[in-house]
Amino acid sequence: MKKNDMIETVKGFFNIELRVNGEKKELAVKNGEFLLDALRRHGWKGTKKGCDTGDCGSCTVLLNGKPVLGCLVPAVTAHGGELTTIEGLGSVRDPHPLQEAFVEAGAVQCGFCIPGMILSSKHLLDSNKNPTEAEIRKALDGNLCRCTGYVKQVEAVKDAAKRLRTKGK
What local confidence, expressed as pLDDT, does residue 167 receive? 84
What local confidence, expressed as pLDDT, does residue 47 receive? 94
Give the global pTM: 0.91
Q: Smallest Cα–Cα separation from 5: which of 19, 22, 26?
A: 26
Number of domains present in the structure of the chain: 2
Regarding whether 101 and 80 lie in a shared domain, the answer is: no
| Alpha-helical runs (H) found in 66-150 | 97-104, 114-127, 133-139
CATH of the domain at 106: 1.10.150.120
Full domain range(s) for residue 102: 97-164
What local confidence, expressed as pLDDT, does residue 12 receive? 80
Cα 158 to Cα 22, 117, 151, 163: the distances in Å are: 26, 13, 11, 9
What local confidence, expressed as pLDDT, does residue 10 receive? 65
Regarding whether 50 and 109 lie in a shared domain, the answer is: no
Alpha carbon distance 128, 135 (integer Å): 9
With a cut of 70, list the residues of the chain below it in pLDDT: 1-10, 169
Cβ(56)–Cβ(69) under 8 Å?
no
Cα 7 to Cα 12, 29, 30: the distances in Å are: 10, 11, 12
pLDDT, one tens digit per residue, over 76-96 is 999 999 999 999 999 999 999
The answer to whether residue 124 sits within a structural domain is yes
The answer to whether residue 2 sits within a structural domain is no
